Amino acid sequence: MDKDLLKKKERLIDDAIVTLKKEFVGIDEQIDGIMDNLRTWFLFPELQDRPLVISVWGLTGTGKTSLIKRIAQLLDIERDLVYFNFAEIGECSSWEIESRIEEELSNERSNRFFVYDEFQYANTLDKHGEEKDKRSGLKPFWELMDTGKIHKRDSFYQIRLLYTMALYLTKINDVYPMKIENGKWVNADECLEPFSSYEIMKFGQYFNFNLEGKNQPKREDDDDDEDERDVRDLDTGIPKMESKGGYDFFIKESYAEKLIDIQEKSGDGIRDRLSAFNELRKMSCDDIIELIGTVYENASKGYDLNFSDSVIFVVGNLDEAYEMALNVDPDMSPDQFHKLTKKITVVDVKKALQERFRNEQIARLGNIHLIYPSFSSESFRKLIDMCLDKYARDVNEMTGYVCRFSQSVKNIIYKESVFPTHGTRPIFSTVHEIVKTKLPFIVRCIYEGKYDAKYIDFKYTNKNTVVSVYDNDNNLLFVRKYKEKLRLEKLRDNTKDEEQALVAVHESGHFVMYAKLYGEMPEKLCSKTASSDNGGFMLKDSNQVDKIHSYNDLLNAIKIALGGYVAEQLVFGDEKKTSGASEDLRNATLIASRMVRSYGMGVNVIASTYYTDPDVCLCGNIIKEDDQKYINDNIKEIFNMCLKEVVDTLSDTEWRKMLKESAKYLSTHSAMPKKKMEECYALVSDSVKKTDKDDSYYRRKIEEI
């Protein structure tokens, strides 16, 4: 064991971890997990008897592939990186896939760094759980994950070339023994004299020879104008023909290379192709015929590509595990999404994989699954800082100017670019549009005005990006304003119209009921959003989203859902109620129905269903009882009980104060900050603030048994 090499590799790993945590935001835990697993492979790959498979899952744009490729750079193993993008491969035929693998892989190096990117497109099951067509071509990739070995065969055409070459040599040698000296065929005249011109032409396709001092018969693809050729091939080092008049080896270059190539693949221990060629030149004709026969036999059996001491990174997006992945509303809370994705476990990942792959395939992925969380608001802001800092360094290096960015610019970039489920890419494009597009105009102004400029400051105010240029002593030279074509902030602008007033009351009803029942503030409260199909919303705290669904929790969910409907009714009257509560009413009814039909929380604990098809309910419920009136009555009873409490709450003087203050604020502001929520809640007397919150109920009751 080379101790110096081992120490060098240890330093590379440790330094790489430090660098990665500086360059990638919000995934320190994932970086540690990847590098801890990678360390043993990097230091002692010989100890592996099968490939190390590391799976990395996350939402789009979270830097999964970038991280893996950066690791290869930092560990100085880019030459060993073999990258496959399954978004492209999934559309290829089996023949194309086999050719792609043949191009990428060889026995030249076994200790490889494989990346299976966009692996969700390798799915073998469709959305109905049925086997997808045209997936047999992916078999080598699964074999590689399982054993690290791929069994391959050369094409029939390639193997046939060896057979034909051996046949011609035998035919010539049997008529008159061929004399090979230092790789050259020195008695070609005598050997070929008995053969016809046509036969000699056929031999000339494979062999270099002179007849009576002249060149061999020409083929149609020979070039009359090409008198000199390279002495050695730049890639293989194998000597080529020196000129058309004298040949370095009697077997033509392409066929000699093919022989050595197949010999290498067949496991004959070749590692130095130039040495193999020199050995070939020293052989007699009989030895060459015997070698070709051996290589032909081995090639017919096929050969193994062995990569058992490799690492395979499986990288992909799993929407089935990340339920929020399809939510593209930019007004949703990055922090709540972050909390939810932090709770995704390896079990959730494997359940999601079952939607796409067979169990035997999931087993081949192993148990090392690194799960990326979505970015928090803090991570998004760090990304914006990093992007602007890098741009400032690039500008300074290219022009000598120093770019400075105010917090106002960073804030508008955040508001315009952050889609919680879309990761980093929208940030890059927004930075380009708001910041980078201004630089050409500013530089032109500096050159035209012959200013001795040093600092370029960016700030945002009144929908304009304001760029101020200063000299080395911070004296202002000139200012330029650029009107921004904001896409999201324009949609969030307060209209202060009838629709916003209506939404303000509706969302305030949800807010009051939420605060009353849980004694805490929601994650987010909006009356105007960028989404065209969502006038406003109240987002629960993530801790409430994942609560145990007890009887009281479900009743609370119904009451909160009914808050908007009741608030509209009490404030605007029955005649001015709107259809905006339809989804809330549907959700409230659905929860009550499930309580009675599925959760055993009604009069009858037996589960029942509307469905008449036994397969739909998996034979687990009573199907369409003769009399379902008592079930419907039970559902209505729960619903009406909750509705009465909501009406009583929002009619109460204390809670009415909170409703009014919240509605007034939201009618003129698109969103309510947490501090304002707490101010509204503080209007309610402490004497009426009673909640059902008890985070230790179940554990406490055990002690009372």
Distance CA 389, CA 403 (A): 9
Q: What is the pLDDT of residues 511-547, one digit of tens each?
A: 999 999 999 999 889 888 766 566 788 888 766 555 6
Three-state SS at 116: strand
Q: 471 and 553: one domain?
A: no
In the numeric block, the tokens 């990739």 are attached to: 141
Tally of structural domains, the chain: 4
- Which CATH number fits the domain that encloses residue 487? 1.10.8.60
- Name 114's bridge partners: 82, 312
Distances (CA, A) of 505 to 246, 409, 509, 664: 95, 33, 6, 8
DSSP class of residue 579 equals G
Q: 684 and 563: one domain?
A: yes
DSSP class of residue 489 equals H
- Average pLDDT score over the chain: 84
pLDDT at 241 over 60: no
Q: What is the pLDDT of residues 124-142, one digit of tens each?
A: 888 888 888 767 778 888 8
Listed residue (625, 579, 587) closest to 606, CA to CA: 625
Q: 327 and 382: one domain?
A: no
- Name 306's bridge partners: 149
* Final residue in a domain of this structure, among 300, 323, 352: 300
Our CA angle for 140, 141, 147, nearest 5°, is 80
Least confident of 122-126, 320-324, 493-497: 493-497
pLDDT at 219 over 70: no
Task: State residue 99's pLDDT score.
Answer: 66
Q: What is the pLDDT of residues 581-619, one digit of tens each?
A: 888 999 999 999 999 988 889 887 877 776 666 565 555
Q: 692 and 569: one domain?
A: yes
Number of H helices, E strands in the chain: 28, 19
**Cβ atoms 57, 34 nearer than 8 A:** no
- Name 320's bridge partners: none
Listed residue (68, 70, 551, 519) closest to 312, CA to CA: 68
Q: 585 and 476: one domain?
A: no
Q: What is the pLDDT of residues 291-322, one digit of tens each?
A: 888 888 877 777 777 888 999 999 998 877 78
Distance CA 143, CA 112 (A): 15
Q: What is the pLDDT of residues 499-512, one digit of tens each?
A: 889 999 999 999 99
Q: 104 and 180: one domain?
A: no
Chain-centroid distance of CA 568 in Å reads 44
Q: E strand or H helix at 644, and its extent?
A: helix 629-651
Q: 469 and 525: one domain?
A: no
Distance CA 521, CA 544 (A): 11
Q: 485 and 537: one domain?
A: no
| Mean pLDDT, range 320-331, rounded to an integer | 66
Task: State residue 215's pLDDT score.
Answer: 47
Least confident of 156-160, 276-280, 528-532, 618-622: 618-622
**Sorting pLDDT into bands at 50, 70 and 90, what band is 675?**
very high
Our CA angle for 82, 11, 314, nearest 5°, is 30
Distance CA 644, CA 640 (A): 6
Q: 164 and 233: one domain?
A: yes
Say if residue 539 is exposed, middle or buried (CB neighbours under 10 Å; 0-12, 13-18, 19+).
middle
**Cβ atoms 67, 31 nearer than 8 A:** yes
Phi-psi region of 583 (alpha: psi -120 to 50; beta: other; left: phi over 0): alpha
| Mean pLDDT, range 16-45, rounded to an integer | 94
Q: 551 and 442: one domain?
A: no
Task: State residue 613's pLDDT score.
Answer: 61
Distance CA 217, CA 180 (A): 20
pLDDT at 217 over 70: no
Helices (H), 458-497: 489-492
Q: 510 and 477: one domain?
A: no
* Final residue in a domain of this structure, among 371, 395, 412: 371
Which residue type sits at 438? K
**Length of the chain (residues):** 705
- Which CATH number fits the domain that encloses residue 128? 3.40.50.300
Least confident of 220-229, 449-458, 583-592, 621-630: 220-229
Listed residue (183, 391, 380) closest to 279, CA to CA: 183
- Name 526's bridge partners: 537, 671
Q: 7 and 147: one domain?
A: yes
- Which CATH number fits the domain that encloses residue 665? 1.20.58.760
* Final residue in a domain of this structure, among 492, 515, 537: 492
**Sorting pLDDT into bands at 50, 70 and 90, what band is 561?**
very high
Task: State residue 651's pLDDT score.
Answer: 95
Least confident of 50-64, 82-96, 565-579: 82-96
At residue 661, what are phi and psi to the nearest 5 degrees?
-65, -40
Q: Which domain holds residue 166?
A: 156-300
Task: State residue 106's pLDDT score.
Answer: 61
DSSP for 285-337, written as a single string: HHHHHHHHHHHHHHHHH-EEEE-TT-EEEEEE--TTT-GGGG---TTS-HHHH
